[in-house]
Amino acid sequence: MGVRFSAADSSNLISAMRNNITNADLIIVRLDAGSQHLVAQLDAGVLRGAAFTAGRGLFAELILPGIAKLREAVSDIQAELASYEYAHSVIAGYGNLDHDDLTTALQEANERLRLIEEQIERNSDFLTQVQAVFRGDVEKLAHQNQVLQRLKNQVENEIEDLKEKIDKLEWFVADVSKYFSDSLEVMRLATQAAIELNKVAVEADGSYYTNGVDLAIIRGLSGARISTHSHAGLGIPDGFVVYDTLEHASALSYDKLVEWLGSEEASRLHSLARNNPGLLDSMLREAYKLKVDGDPLGALGALFNLLSENGWIALQGGQTILDKFKTNGDWDMKRYLAEDAGYESGAFYLHDEQGRVVRSDVFGNVMYGAMLAHWGVDLEVALKGANAGTAAGVDAGVNDELDDRAARYGYDLYKKYPNGLSEKQYYEEVASAKLTG
């Protein structure tokens, strides 16, 4: 990738751009005030004559619209500079980053981890342990394993740290690459327009001629489109990565929801819910009682359910839910969003052009709630499974208030749209739900 980030250089860039924006504002204010004053004097009849009348057309039709567009461009740069400052704040804490160096370091760390794991595996081999007993090296082998395990933990932490830095650097590059391009294009057009205006021939009687002047450039300046990419005012906590791809993420989530609900496993669960209402809910309730609460009566309750009609199907259905919704499971939506964004160092935020914000892991929890509601599982049971984390095998969020709200919202969506909802409806509902934390 060949990308480098210097926190000091980035800070200097921010300071320089702030100064340039201040100076540009002053120049534009003076240009605008002078031009407006001239036109006002002409309109009031204070200035008379053919030259002034001709000049009014030049200012009103060409120069004033150009100044207005320049003002818009500077405002755009100012807003996007605020977004750049946010991106800078996310990554600056890491100091200087070099993508090539980080990638090389990650490869080397992965290789060290592989060698350590191979040695641990060899030490754990049955034959190695038997030989250690006969040689009297049991204590030595145990000590070596402890050292290797500590090394393994250190290298794993190093790998996570390197991955996080690479993720943040790649996000920074992708995020800031959208900034300033259209406003800088306006500045370029303004420069060309000034050159063309200098070609305008003005006669002594005030007449002016535009022969040889490319008026398309001047009019193009006024018609240039500016789109501001801003994170300001979104209410996103400090330090989180932000992408302006909420609608795209919602479409991906909707496609996965349709795919999963149409799967063979989901069809069996839906059939069970229709033919034996409450059985899957009861099976999950007893399973969580055993796995989460450690209550042995949960095993008895599960056995009782197993002996009922379709009990075996309910048991398999419960296991399907535990397997599919676990971290990195087939129905773990945050995994797919992370892969799609190329950012796998935890949750991030998504927003759209209307300023609506959703945390990335919300989609998975909304889907979890909607799907379990579809299969007749009680909300209380679903939340217990979600908050149980790895103890129950489901990692939809451990005692996270936002995760609970998102799962509840999934149930609400199912009640509101019992016959299904369109991709657009899904997007509008989730985007407007204020599930931001």
- Each domain of the chain, given as residue ranges in start order, spans 4-95+179-223, 100-162, 242-431
Q: Which two tokens stand for residue 355?
A: 């300023």
* In the predicted structure, residue 354 carries a pLDDT above the cut 90: no
Is the model more confident about 78 or about 160?
160
Tell me the pLDDT band of 54, cut-offs 50, 70 and 90.
Answer: low
Q: What integer pLDDT is reported at residue 297 of this predicted model?
A: 39
- Between 78-92, 227-241, 280-294, the lowest mean confidence (pLDDT) is in 280-294
Mean pLDDT, rounded, for 364-373: 93
- Between 65-74, 197-206, 289-298, 420-429, the lowest mean confidence (pLDDT) is in 289-298
Q: What integer pLDDT is reported at residue 227 of this predicted model?
A: 61
Q: What integer pLDDT is reported at residue 395 of this predicted model?
A: 45
Tell me the pLDDT band of 229, cut-offs 50, 70 and 90.
Answer: low
- Between 106-110, 203-207, 300-304, 404-408, the lowest mean confidence (pLDDT) is in 300-304
- Between 117-121, 158-162, 253-257, 360-364, the lowest mean confidence (pLDDT) is in 117-121
- Between 107-111, 177-181, 287-291, 394-398, the lowest mean confidence (pLDDT) is in 394-398
Q: What integer pLDDT is reported at residue 397 of this predicted model?
A: 46
Q: What integer pLDDT is reported at residue 119 of this predicted model?
A: 87
pLDDT, tens digit, 9 for 90 and up, residues 231-286? 665 667 766 788 888 999 999 999 999 999 999 988 988 887 787 777 777 766 66
* In the predicted structure, residue 396 carries a pLDDT above the cut 60: no
* Bridge partners, residue 359, by sequence: 349
Q: What integer pLDDT is reported at residue 394 of this predicted model?
A: 44
* Residues with Cβ within 8 Å of residue 3, at least 6 apart in sequence: 98, 99, 169, 173
State the burial class of residue 162 (Cβ atoms within 10 Å of its Cβ: 0-12, 13-18, 19+).
Answer: buried
* In the predicted structure, residue 135 carries a pLDDT above the cut 70: no
pLDDT, tens digit, 9 for 90 and up, residues 372-391? 999 888 888 788 776 665 44
